[in-house]
Each structure stands twice: as C-alpha cells, then as structure tokens.
Amino acid sequence: MPQPLQPLSPQLIDDLVFAALEEDGAFDDVTTRALVQPDQWGHGYFIAKDDGVIAGLPIAAAAMTAIDEDVSFDTLVEDGFRVAPGEQLVEVEGPLVAILACERVALNYLQRLSGIASLTRAYVAAVAHTKARILDTRKTTPGLRHLERYAVRAGGGYNHRLNLSAGVLIKDNHIAAARLRGLDDLEAVVTQARNEAPHTLRIEIEVTSVEELREALAGRPDIILLDNMGIDAMRQCVEITDGHALLEASGGISLDTVRAIAETGVDFVSVGRLTHSAPAMDISLEIGAT
C-alpha cells in the first residue's frame, strides 16, 4: 500500500454500527430467537468468494461484537490486503444468537468497503507507471463518506477534499453564478475566490477547454480541474501549464481510459465511480456449532 491507513474514529464506528443494527432489527431477531437456544455456541469464518482487496474489518468487528462482547472476531488478514476466492478472512466464535443477529450488518459493511477498495486498486495499478494519483470524489453514500474514503485509501487511492468546507473548488455553476455578479472571466473568478476564502485553503477551478485553461491560469490558481477533456486537449493543457498549477483530470473516467489520461502528465485523476458505482465484493459467513 502506498500510504499508511489512518484508523477510523471509534465513535464514528460505534454510531454507524448502532444505527445499522437498529435499522436491521438486530436487537429483536425473531427468527434466531425462535430457532436458537440462548446458550448455544457457534464458530465460523468470513470467507472471500471473489478476488479483491479487503477493507472494513474494524467496522465489521464492531458490528459482530456489538450485541454480545463474548463474541470473538479474530482477523486473519488486514485491510488493504488482496485475497483470493476461498480465503478465510476472519474467525468468529461466541453466542450464536448474537452472531446471527449481527451477521448481515457486518457483511454489508465489509462487502461494500472491500468492493470500493478492490475497484480503487484496479485504477491505481493502471496508472502505476505514471506520476498521477487516483482520487475519490464527494460522490459518496450519504452518512458513509468517512468509511468509503477509508476504503479508497485501503485500495491505494487518495482522498480529495472531505467536504465543502475543506477546500475551494470552483465548478461550472459557481462560474455561472459569478458571471451574474459581473465577474466576466476566469481570472477574475479565481482572484475573487482567493480574496474571500481563508488563506490556508488552496484554490481549484474547473475548466472545459484549452482556452478556459489559459484564462484561469492568469488568476494563478493552485489546481486546475480538466473536466471531460479529450486526450490531445489534456496534453496541450499540461504543456501550457508547465508546472505553474497542479492539474486534475475528471469526468467519466473508466478503467479503459484512465491509463491514457494519466499518461498525458496530469497530477491527479479523480474518479467518482470508486464510491458511487463499485460492485460489492462477495463475502460470506459460514458457521457451524462447536
């Protein structure tokens, strides 16, 4: 992994797990209560059914042990590790009532986050021969942004700004609104943002053409986002910018196109589908009595 994984906040994990268990009715699992004795003990394994990269073990552990602390959750791999189909990921043991009640929530988190990490790793591998970093976006599941961005890091990617307060990113609708108040060119838009925003924040602006890039460069932004540009236009933008601003490519970037985009010389490639369209990794819990 290219960067160390910073742990998730324990309070965040506790809050999300409790809400998810409440939503799933885990504290009143009528099926399990009808069929399983209160003192019945169980043992089993989380098993990968797909090839992929694991992410979400800390929150899966919190989910599995939330109802009964006697449940043990012993990890056999770590977040960020690539696994093969059939590989055992976690060994669980404890009161079967609690294990069965928490199983779905733990798996949902682990499958979702591992899917994001796996897709991210594929993008990272595709551009490994270039200087470009793969970034996520704010296109995350409401309430799960911290988890999903953790999964991107587990896959070897990097995080863009966390939220709207974490950086200035001037997009097309901001530019349209600025024009309504008389800021007629991108140089003026960048200058206005720099004058009004906290001095500790970098200024990024979105452009859609080489002409707009030239206009924006006059305002000396820190980063320029190249939105839905073709390969030739991106190469031209890299040449014109000549290191005077960082360049980020964005807009409908797939695994089929990311390599060529990174090879233009851009610094970053942001990919919304890492979090909004990653397929869940197939993982199951196979249990048996002890």
Q: Rounded to an integer, what distance in angstroms lies between the CA atom of residue 204 and that of residue 194?
A: 10
- The residue from 104, 194, 235, 259 that is catalytic is 104
- Is 160:137 a contact under the CB 8 Å cutoff? yes
- Other C-beta atoms lying within 10 Å of the C-beta of residue 224: 27
Judged by DSSP in three states, 16 sits in: helix
- The residue from 212, 227, 248, 267 that is catalytic is 227
CB neighbour list of residue 276: distance below 8 Å, 6 or more residues apart: 139, 140
What is residue 27's DSSP assignment? G
Q: Rounded to an integer, what distance in angstroms lies between the CA atom of residue 40 and that of residue 2?
A: 44
State the DSSP H helix or E strand holding residue 159, giving kind and residue range, or none if neither: none
Q: Rounded to an integer, what distance in angstroms lies between the CA atom of residue 153 and that of residue 10?
A: 18
Judged by DSSP in three states, 43 sits in: strand
The verdict on whether 139 is a catalytic residue reads yes
Tokens coding 56: 């979400």
- The residue from 33, 49, 131, 171 that is catalytic is 171
The verdict on whether 227 is a catalytic residue reads yes
- The residue from 82, 138, 139, 194 that is catalytic is 139
Angle, helices 96-126/10-24, rounded to nearest 10 degrees: 120
Tokens coding 98: 């609690």
In this structure, what are the phi and psi dihedrals at residue 239, rounded to the nearest 5 degrees? -65, -45
User: Does residue 132 come out as left (phi exceeding 0), alpha (psi in the -120 to 50 range) or beta?
Assistant: beta
Report the amino acid identity of residue 97.
V
- The residue from 79, 148, 187, 206 that is catalytic is 206
What amino acid positions are annotated as catalytic residues? 104, 139, 171, 206, 227
